[in-house]
Each structure stands twice: as C-alpha cells, then as structure tokens.
Structure 1
Amino acid sequence: MSWFLAQPLTWLVATLLVYRGGCAVRDRTGHPAAQPVLVAVVVLGAVLVLLPGDVASRLAPFVEGTQGLVFLLGPATVALAVPLHRQLHRLRGYLLGLVVSLVVGVLVSVGSSVALVRLLGGDETLMRTVAPKATTAPVAIALSGTIQGIPALTAAIGISAGILGAVAAPTVLTWLRVRDHRARGLATGAVSHGIGTSRMLLEHPTEGAFSGLSMGLTALATSALLPVLVPLLVRLLV
C-alpha cells in the first residue's frame, strides 16, 4: 500500500477521477456548490489527511504526479481567447466602461481586503499577503513575493476566492438583478479568475468570454497598481 501511495501516477489518476466525479455530480444535481474543483479539493484533501502515515510523505508524489496538469494551465488560459474572439462584436461601445470598472474593481478588491485584515487584527505581512487574491494564482504568487507577502498563503487564499466565486457569483448576480451577460462575466472574472471563468463558460458563452477577458485585465491592472497601492494602504492603516 505504501508503495502504491508513493507513485506519482496514483495521484494523477486519482485527481482526474475525482474531478470527473465532481463533473458528474454537478451535471446530475445542478447545485451551485457542486463545482468540480471544490469536490476535488475536498475529496483529495480528506484522502491525504485521513490515510495512515505522514501527510508530508504523500505530498511529494502528489505534486510530482500533477505537474502535467499544472503545465496545462498555461495553454488552457491562452485558449480562453477563443470564446473572446467569437464575442468581439459585443465590445463595441463597451470598452471605456470595461476599463473603468476593472480599475475600480481592483481598487475596491485590494482596499477592502487590506482594510478587513487590519480590522480583524492581522499584521502587515498578512495585509500584504491577501492584497493580490483576486488575480490568477501564478500572478498572485509573483506579486505577493514582490510586496513582501507570503506567496504560498496568497495562492491558497486566491484559490479559495476562486472556488467561492464559482459557487456563489451567478446566484448573487441574479439576486442583484444583473442581467447583462457582459457585466456578469466581467464581475466574476475580476474576483474569481480561472475557476470562476470555467463556471461562467457553462452559464453562457458571452459570460465566459468576458470573464476570461476580465481575468486577464484584472491581473494586468493589479500588477500595475499593487506596488503603489499596498504601501500607501499600509501606511494609512498601520
């Protein structure tokens, strides 16, 4: 059994099977919480913790076995340009509002995150760590290191935000009576990046396309604003 659990291929197959199971649960139930990524995180996390032996000894083969999936994230992100290209005609007359809304979204996201950490008693390092949470994981990790945060914790917080957005965003936007497919996609992509975008692609082609666009532009705007914004906020709040 120990030999089996130490094989990277074991964890690669387990990850694929659990994700596929999450897709089946989503398709069968239609429940917002039945997101494949969330199902995979919960099931695989429980397996890693509950199996006998040292958790750390299983993490190494798990990481090794899933490196191929991590590599595929790059091509998958680039492929989001395909649905956007098909929806380019919907950008007409919308570009200025798109840019303004995304910049304001970055300011609100970073400012509210840092202020909430301070309000709850967190220190300066934690404030810097949560600031890039709305960007996709590779960008968030790089930004966190640049502003003296904790990159690993930033990644965990960002992934959690993405999962929460994928679960809740469509319902919340419907409650708020946001009907425009472009606006729904932009809002989701700005706060829950790739995971939320995968959900919006299932909701509507336009929502998925604009969510992918929002994800990329939010990462760009955050990269430009964060090095200036975070030190300013820290000085004001600490």
Structure 2
Amino acid sequence: MIYLIATILIYIVSKRIYKHYPKAYLTPLLVVPVVLVAALVVLDIPFQNYEKGTSAISYFLGPATVAFAIPIYKHFELIKKFMVEILSSIVAGSVVAVLSSFFLGYLIHLSGNFMTSIMPRSITTPIAMEVSKTIGGVPALTAAFVVATGIIGSIVGPHVIKVFSLKSPVARGVSFGVAAHGAGTSKAFEFGDQEGTFSSLSMIIAAGVTLVWGNTWIPHFQHLFIQ
C-alpha cells in the first residue's frame, strides 16, 4: 500500500509543478518514472515488491481508457461531420506507425523479439501489450517503447504543429492521438477541448485497427523478413 500511495503522491506533485511550469522535461509522464526508478535504486527496493504493491494502477489502466468516451460524446455531432477524414487519417496513420517501426528496426538490425516488441508502440499500453503477445513480442518491452513514444510525441508534436501551421482541431487532435496515444491526448487537451476529443477518438480507433493488424497481416509481414 505504501508504494501505491507514494506513486500517487509523486504524480500529484509532478502534475502541479507541470501546471505552473509547463516545460516538456517536467511532464509527469517523464518525471514520475525517473523519480520512482531513482527511489527504487537508492532505497534498494526490489522491483517485484514495488510491482506487487502498485498492481491496482495497472489493473485500472485499461478501464481508465473508457473515460475518453466522455469528450467524444460531448462533441459527437462534430465528430460525425468529419468522420470520413478522421477514419481515413487514422487507418493511414496506423499503417505508417507499424511499418515505420518495422523498417526502422530492420535497418538497425534489431533481433526478432525487439522487432515485434517495437511494432505496436504507437497505441495505448494495454492494447499494445496484447498485440505484442499476439505477434511474439515482449509485452514489458513494448510498454517501455509505448511510454517513450508518448513522451517524444508530446514533446515534438507542438513543434510539428507550429512548423506546418496546423490550425484545424481535427488535424491537431488526430495527429496527437495516432502518433502519441494517451500522452499525446493529454497534450492535445492543452490545445483545446476539441483537439483532445479528436485525439481521444483517434487513439481508441487506432488501437482497434492495430489490434486487427496484429492478428492478420503483421505476422505474415514479419515472417518475410525476420529469420
């Protein structure tokens, strides 16, 4: 229980700091893991003990995704208006995310397990881990890639939006949701409620699309290149 309380307190403190000083390097998604890892090392606490004490957080990670349905319901009429653009962008983005991960791993000669673990990195953690299991990856490793992708996406995303002068809430939201899942969605809400809504929807649909890919053509595609 003490590990759970400590984790929640560290998150609350880091979130308040980020609210007053919204710098990329102060985002809770980056600060909390760093602080926790440092604490485990300094205090010589076995990770197994920490994992057991904070299992409730992992348990609620999946159900928490359902909360994204609230803004989607709120802006449902606007979503219907741009449904074709949203769906086509999500499907294209999901394919690019998987293929870019594969070819990057192929170019730098990643081993089979690393390759399959990195491919679902652009979707929310619970589903990414399931896809990883399906295609023979290491779920724990996939989770690490997902977190890294989310952090990088939330940091780089605003600069990409600025460079390309993206004004549309649809374009901004879908970009964050497809490229950086939960972390990107959190960042999208900083731009506006509509951006966050489109990002939430994109993240959820992208996860479903990638789950389908993971059970259909990804294993065959993987078999052609990985020995």
Instruction: Give the TM-score taking structure 1 as reference length.
Output: 0.87
Paired letter, 2:183 = I
What is the match of residue 154 of structure 2?
Answer: 166
The offset of 1:80, in angstroms, is 0.9
2:124–2:207 contact (8 Å) kept in structure 1: yes
Matched, 1:28 2:57: no
Amino acid at match of 1:20: I
1:180 to 152, 168, 172: 168
The alpha carbon displacement at 1:187 in A equals 1.0
Q: Is 2:33 aligned against 1:45? A: no
Alignment partners' CA distance in 1, 2:199 and 2:106: 30
Give the fraction of aligned pairs with identical amino acids, expressed as a percent. 33
Q: 1:93 aligns with which of 65, 75, 81?
A: 81
Query: Does residue 8 of structure 2 align to residue 16 of structure 1?
Result: yes
Match 2:57 to one of 60, 64, 69: 69
Kept in 2, the 8 Å contact 1:35–1:166? The answer is no
Give 2:124's aligned residue: 136
Computing the radius of gyration from Cα coordinates, the structure with the larger value is 1
Match status 1:190 vs 2:178:
yes
- Secondary structure of 1:18's aligned partner: helix
Q: Describe the superposition over 1:71-96 as per-residue Cα deviations: whole angstroms up to 9, x where unpaired.
A: 33234211111111111121243111
Letter in 1 for 2:31: V
How far 1:232 sits from its partner (Å)? Answer: 4.1
Aligned partner of 1:36: which letter? Answer: P
Task: Say if 1:223 and 1:24 are closer, same or farther in 2 by CA, change over 3 A.
Answer: same
| Deviation, structure 1 residue 175 | 2.0
Report the alpha carbon displacement of residue 118 of structure 1 after superposing the two structures with TM: 0.7
Unaligned stretches of 5+ residues in structure 1: 1-8
Q: Contact conserved, 1:115 with 1:237, CA < 8 A, in 2?
A: no
Deviates more, 1:135-144 or 1:92-101: 92-101
* Mapped partners of 1:65, 1:198: distance in 2: 26
Partner of 1:4: none
Amino acid at match of 2:2: T
Kindly state the Cα deviation for residue 235 of structure 1 after the two structures are TM-superposed: 4.5
Distance apart, 1:226 and its partner CA:
2.8
1:118 aligns with 2:118: no
- 1:22–1:37 Cα contact (<8 Å) kept: no
What secondary structure does 1:132 align onto?
coil
Structure 1 Cα separation of the partners of residues 162 and 153 of structure 2:
13
SS state at 1:12 partner: helix
TM-score, normalization: structure 2? 0.91
Contact 1:134 1:191 (C-alpha < 8 Å) held by counterparts: yes
**RMSD of equivalent CA atoms:** 1.8
